[in-house]
């Protein structure tokens, strides 16, 4: 196959959809004018009888816009090269972008509302290095988009991990795994309920009678002070709800696929071998129903748009969290994680190393929860009495470690240990350990992480690195 | 103190378990050059002497007693800061362990950072004009997380270059990526 015929164009409706909002507005305006005319409410003719020139001008603008859009569409194209995804866009400001397959971190299929109506999708390719390095392939038919996503994931996978390094389930080619088992499906009723069980909901509930009263008693000051805030808080919560609607997670072997959204259907994939740390959180209002939220750090995917790519469970029971956790961090000790959710001090199994009692001077409420436990695969940290938090960091994924101690901590002989992960929603740390315990963790964890790093086949992470180690290490 | 061998480092004697937050421990701690204190003091005194000179000039021309107080204050601040800088520089030490580079900093706010060689993405060698005059350079270690960067300021240029070389070699041989 020659190079030329591997170039692909986007769907011809692309320019129309990209100018989607503008198109809808213009059509709406024209329709509105016609309706006015039909019902006889039209004001005087704005062209003052000069119908011909006005029509010609409008026609000219339309023709120019259409030609420009068509030309832009003609020059925009992409192809899957030997080692890169290549994308050319722009008519006047031309841009050529290449993304190496082995730098691809995640591939999402996004379907904005208008595109969804005509059965089109956008493929979003995220590579390491912030939002500038992302590539949007818009728009393609749904089937093409899904195929392209699978193909890119396969190419990225081949570039990134030797096929032999994977588990025994490898017989199945990845494209057939693409539509895997549903691991988690969150009922919409629960999403609504969880939105009600929040501080924002309480505020809105308190604010509504106040506003009603203000209207009745004619207090404009109260209305202007409370009204916009209530509206903003409410709208934000509703926006979140709309985004998380129809949330479900499927397991396709190499990655988890997260789909959600009421108006904009979003599909993001979470490559399993890039997961760096996992965090479970539970606010005070979720204590009663026993709900948790699950966030992950993924290498190369920073905290971009508000938790979209990194929240794998917006609200779920502990059992559901455990199920996801078993996939995200295989072989994690479930008992310890369950214990970390609620225990204080050394915990029922006495495997937790917790803050000493003197730490209550620095953290009078949460000191008893602060602590960590070591499992064969990962460190499990525990914190927070009001907002409970559990973090799981695989030994092999710790980037570096820091022990720090300020003057107040030194007087109490306490120290903080940070298990530095990549950028993301989770920043693992254990606060207020006794200095001795902190140094034990620091020292032992260094050795554990080193052992775990060498145990992991280097080819799984980075094939270009030679697996051979020089014997003397220098 | 806490000697834990995990089979990885048994042959080399030094182990990170020996690393104390403060004090000697078993690792071979290396100080940074005391000339770093000189460099920092030159900058410090440059600023303070300028302030003091302005204050003295004003005291003579405007003849208000508080300008003399301001000049004296600037000098006193300089003396205290000099003492502080010397203590801070003396507190910066680093050690090369079999698997990690460890850096200790601070007296009041103490910090102990360990960066595994295999996690290093790249190493920066930096040297400003003043540092260059004094034969010093700073070495900055970067991993995949911006949070975990470690800096060793004020190494003699030769030591910094050698260390960078060793770090690069070890980084290659122990590479773990993400």
Gap from B69 CA to chain A (nearest CA, Å) = 32
**How close is the nearest chain B Cα to the Cα of A124, in Å?**
22
> What pLDDT digit, counting tens, does each position of A258-307 carry?
888 887 778 887 878 888 899 999 988 888 889 999 999 887 665 554 44
> How confident is the model at residue A158, as a pLDDT?
41
**Most confident option among A53-57, A216-220, B113-117, B142-146:** B113-117
Q: Is the model's pLDDT at B2 over the cut of 70?
A: no
| Per-residue model confidence as pLDDT tens digits over A171-203 | 333 333 445 688 888 998 898 888 888 888 888
Alpha-carbon distance of A33 to A273, in angstroms, equals: 57
pLDDT at A292: 94
Which residue among B9, B111, B145 sits closest to A423, beta carbon to beta carbon?
B145
> Average pLDDT of B99-120?
87
Of A405, A421, A465, the CB nearest to B175: A465
Please identify which residue in the block is written with the tokens 């070389």: B165
DSSP secondary structure of A177-188:
HTS-EEEEE--H
CA distance B2 to chain A (A): 7
CB contact under 8 A, A439 and B1: yes
Question: A442 vs B19: CB contact, 8 Å cut-off?
Answer: yes
A401 in contact with B, Cβ within 8 Å: yes
Query: Could B15 and A462 be called an inter-chain contact, meaning their C-beta atoms sit closer than 8 Å?
Result: no
Alpha helices (H) along A245-349: 318-328, 334-342
Peptide bond into A397 cis (omega under 30): no
Q: Using 50, 70 and 90 to split pLDDT, how confident is the model at B3?
A: very low
Q: Residue A43's pLDDT is what?
A: 57
CB contact burial A49-77 (16+ within 10 A = b; e otherwise): eeeeeeeeeeeeeeeeeeeebeebbeebe
Instruction: Give mean pLDDT, residues B29-45.
Output: 91
A400 to chain B: which residues are within 8 Å by CB? 113-116, 119, 143, 145, 148, 150
d(CA B19, CA B27): 6
CA distances from A445 to A296, A398, A442, B96 (A): 21, 9, 5, 17
pLDDT mean across residues, chain B? 80
Among B8, B111, B112, select the one facing A451 at the smallest CB separation.
Answer: B8
Does any CB of chain B come closer than 8 Å to the CB of residue A129?
no
Reported as type and span, the H/E element at residue A133 is: none
- B171 min Cα distance to partner chain A (Å): 9
Question: Which residues, other chains included, contact A401 with Cβ-Cβ below 8 Å and sequence gap of 6+?
Answer: A417, A418, A419, A420, A442, A445, A446, B113, B114
> How does pLDDT run across A72-91, given as a tens digit for each residue?
888 888 888 887 888 888 77
- The answer to whether the Cβ–Cβ distance between B110 and A410 falls below 8 Å is yes
φ, ψ for residue A3, nearest 5 deg: -60, -40
Q: Show Cβ contacts of residue A396 under 8 Å, excluding neighbours closer than 6 positions.
A: A449, A452, A453, A455, A456, B176
Confidence of residue A374 (pLDDT cuts 50, 70, 90): very high
Instruction: Using a CB–CB cutoff of 8 Å, tell me whether B23 touches chain A.
Output: no
- Nearest-angstrom CA–CA distance, B101 and B164: 11
In degrees and rounded to multiples of 5, residue A392 shows phi and psi of -120, 120
Cβ–Cβ of A473/B19 closer than 8 Å? no
Mean pLDDT, rounded, for A148-165:
61
Q: What is the pTM of this model?
A: 0.68
Q: Say which DSSP state B109 is in.
A: S
Count of CB atoms situated within 10 Å of the CB of A178: 20
A399 touches chain B (CB under 8 A): yes
Q: Tens digits of per-residue pLDDT, A378-396?
A: 999 999 889 999 999 999 8
pLDDT of A123 over the 80 cut: yes
Is residue A367 a contact partner of residue A432, using CB atoms and an 8 Å limit? yes
Partner residue facing B2 (CB), from A427, A440, A473: A440
Give me the sign of the Cα torsion angle A59, A64, A70, A73: negative
A42–chain B Cβ distance below 8 A for any pair: no
Phi-psi region of A461 (alpha: psi -120 to 50; beta: other; left: phi over 0): alpha
CB contact under 8 A, A423 and B147: yes
A149 has a pLDDT exceeding 90: no
CB pairs under 8 A between A and B: 144
Through-space distance between the first and last CA atoms of chain A, rounded to whole angstroms: 47
CA gap A267, A255 in Å, rounded: 12
Nearest to A142 by CA among A310, A13, A230: A13
| Of the ranges A30-44, A125-139, B58-72, the best mean pLDDT one | B58-72
The answer on pLDDT for A467 being more than 60 is: no
The three-class DSSP label of residue B92 is coil
Residues 6+ apart with CB under 8 A from B151: B103, B138, B139, B140, B141
Q: Which of A298, A441, A443 to mutate to test the interface with B (most CBs of B within 10 A)?
A: A443
A450 and B99: CB-CB below 8 Å?
A: yes
Residue in chain B closest to A274 (alpha carbons) equals: B178
A130 and chain B in contact, CB less than 8 A: no
What are the residues facing B75 on neighbouring strands?
none
Q: From the CA of B19, how many Å to the nearest CA of chain A? A: 8
Burial class (CB in 10 A: 0-12, 13-18, 19+), A343: buried
Q: Which of A4-13, A27-36, A225-234, B92-101 ranks highest by mean pLDDT?
A: B92-101
Is A415's Cβ below 8 Å from some Cβ in B?
Answer: yes
Q: For residues A60 and A308, what is the distance between their CA atoms, to the nearest angstrom?
A: 43
Give residue-wise pLDDT tens across range A428-462. 999 999 988 898 898 889 888 888 887 764 434 43
Residue pair A212/A356 in contact (Cβ under 8 Å)? The answer is no
Closest CA to A432 of A377, A376, A385, A378: A385
Minimum distance, in Å, between the CA of residue A365 and any CA atom of chain B: 24
CB within 8 Å: B177 and A461: yes
- Which of A447, A449, A453 to probe by mutation at the B interface, max B CB count within 10 Å? A447
Question: What counts of helices (H) and strands (E) characterise chain A?
Answer: 14, 21
Tell how far CA B115 is from the center of its chain: 15
Q: How far is A404 from chain B (nearest CA, A)?
A: 4
Q: Taking 90 as the threshold, does the pLDDT of residue B76 lie above it?
A: yes
CA angle A383, A386, A389 (to 5 degrees): 30
pLDDT, tens only, A311-358: 889 899 999 999 999 888 888 888 899 999 888 888 888 889 999 999
Contact B149, B141 (CB under 8 A): yes
Per the model's pLDDT, the better-predicted residue between A262 and A225 turns out to be A262
Residue B23: left (phi > 0), alpha (psi -120 to 50), or beta?
A: left
Better pLDDT: B125 or A127: B125
């Amino acid at each position: 196959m020659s190079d030329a015929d591997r170039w692909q164009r986007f769907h011809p409706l692309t320019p129309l959809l990209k100018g989607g909002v503008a198109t809808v507005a213009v059509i709406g305006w024209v329709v509105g004018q016609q309706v006015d005319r039909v019902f006889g409410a039209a004001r005087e003719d704005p062209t003052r009888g000069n119908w011909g020139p006005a029509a010609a001008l409008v026609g000219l603008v339309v023709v120019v816009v259409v030609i420009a859009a068509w030309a832009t569409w003609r020059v925009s194209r992409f192809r899957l090269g030997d080692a890169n995804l290549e994308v050319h866009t722009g008519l006047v400001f031309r841009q050529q972008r290449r993304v190496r397959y082995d730098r691809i971190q995640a591939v999402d299929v996004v379907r904005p509302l208008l595109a969804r109506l005509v059965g089109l999708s956008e493929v979003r390719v995220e590579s390491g290095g912030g939002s500038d390095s992302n590539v949007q392939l818009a728009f393609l038919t749904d089937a093409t988009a899904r195929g392209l996503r699978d193909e890119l994931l396969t190419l990225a996978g081949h570039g990134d991990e030797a096929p032999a390094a994977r588990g025994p389930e490898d017989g199945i080619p990845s494209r057939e795994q693409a539509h895997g088992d549903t691991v988690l499906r969150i009922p919409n009723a629960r999403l609504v309920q969880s939105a009600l069980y929040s501080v924002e909901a309480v505020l809105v509930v308190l604010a509504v009678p106040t506003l009603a009263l203000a209207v009745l008693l004619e207090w404009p000051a109260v209305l202007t002070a409370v009204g916009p805030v209530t509206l903003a808080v409410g709208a934000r919560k509703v926006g979140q709800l709309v985004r998380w609607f129809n949330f479900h997670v499927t397991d396709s072997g190499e990655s988890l696929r997260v789909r959600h959204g009421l108006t904009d259907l979003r599909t993001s994939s979470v490559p399993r071998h890039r997961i760096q740390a996992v965090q479970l959180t539970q606010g005070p209002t979720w204590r009663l129903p026993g709900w948790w939220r699950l966030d992950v750090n993924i290498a190369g995917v920073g905290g971009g748009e508000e938790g979209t790519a990194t929240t794998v469970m917006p609200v779920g029971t502990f059992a559901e969290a455990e199920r996801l956790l078993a996939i995200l961090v295989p072989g994690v000790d479930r008992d310890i994680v369950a214990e970390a959710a609620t225990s204080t001090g050394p915990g029922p199994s006495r495997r937790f190393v917790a803050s000493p009692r003197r730490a209550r001077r620095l953290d009078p409420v949460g000191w008893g929860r602060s602590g960590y436990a070591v499992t064969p695969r990962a460190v499990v940290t525990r914190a927070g009495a009001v907002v409970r938090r559990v973090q799981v960091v695989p030994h092999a994924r710790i980037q570096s470690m820091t022990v720090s101690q300020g003057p107040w901590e030194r007087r109490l002989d306490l120290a903080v240990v940070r298990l530095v992960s990549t950028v993301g929603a989770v920043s693992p740390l254990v606060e207020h350990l006794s200095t001795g315990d902190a140094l034990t963790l620091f020292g032992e964890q260094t050795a554990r992480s080193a052992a775990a790093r060498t145990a992991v086949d280097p080819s799984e992470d980075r094939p270009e690195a030679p697996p051979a180690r020089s014997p003397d290490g220098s | 103190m806490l000697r834990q061998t995990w089979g990885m480092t048994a042959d080399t004697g030094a182990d990170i378990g020996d690393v104390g937050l403060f004090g000697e421990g078993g690792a071979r701690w290396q100080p940074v050059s005391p000339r770093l204190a000189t460099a920092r003091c030159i900058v410090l005194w440059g600023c303070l002497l300028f302030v003091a000179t302005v204050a003295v000039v004003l005291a003579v021309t405007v003849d208000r007693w508080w300008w003399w107080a301001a000049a004296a204050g600037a000098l006193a601040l300089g003396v205290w800061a000099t003492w502080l800088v010397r203590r801070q520089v003396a507190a910066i030490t680093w050690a090369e362990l079999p698997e990690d580079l460890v850096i200790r900093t601070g007296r009041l706010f103490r910090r102990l950072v360990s960066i595994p060689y295999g996690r290093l993405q790249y190493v920066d060698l930096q040297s400003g004009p003043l540092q260059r005059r004094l034969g010093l350079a700073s070495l900055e270690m970067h991993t995949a997380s911006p949070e975990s960067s470690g800096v060793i300021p004020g190494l003699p240029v030769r030591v910094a270059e050698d260390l960078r070389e060793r770090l690069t070699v070890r980084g290659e041989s122990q590479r773990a990526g993400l």
